[in-house]
Amino acid sequence: MSAPSKPNDLAETLGQIARFSRADCIAAWTKAFNSSPPKYLSVPFMQRVLAHDLQCRRLGGSAAATRRALKSALAGNGATPAAPVLNDGSTLVREWNGRVYRVQSTADGYVLDNRNFTSLSAVARHITGAHWSGPRFFGLTCPRQS
């Protein structure tokens, strides 16, 4: 597979890649990546990778910030997953300083000791007297990894 000489040749070359046989894909892969592809890869997958590689080479690849974010996500250094959504009527139980607190989820927020709160963080602040992430205080999210 040769690199297109004109912009119009890009579409033509992509069409050729879509018609590659396994042997064509292996030869093009070896040329593009300087190594043989893993044996288990399907022809359609290799065609997609080769087409993507060609487009990145001709039109430009991902921005450096995007590549860093993807590497960070793959390494597990990304943001923690969002807290699960609580249905109305769900009860959260948390023991704090020897007392068990039961918080009821409602459509308008949360209820603790017949008092309404707009957020779990407000409930956690009421219980502890300090600023806490409400979802973290009630164990709905994982602590940050260091």
Neighbours of 84 (CB within 10 A): 10
Instruction: Return the pLDDT at 24.
Output: 95
Which of 1, 6, 7 has its CA nearest to residue 23? Answer: 1
Asked whether 126 and 134 are in contact (CB, 8 A), the reply is no
pTM: 0.44
pLDDT tens, N- to C-terminus, the chain (146 residues): 544 445 568 899 999 999 999 999 999 999 999 999 988 899 999 999 999 999 888 888 777 777 787 787 777 755 555 556 788 888 999 999 889 999 999 988 999 999 999 999 999 999 999 998 888 888 887 666 55
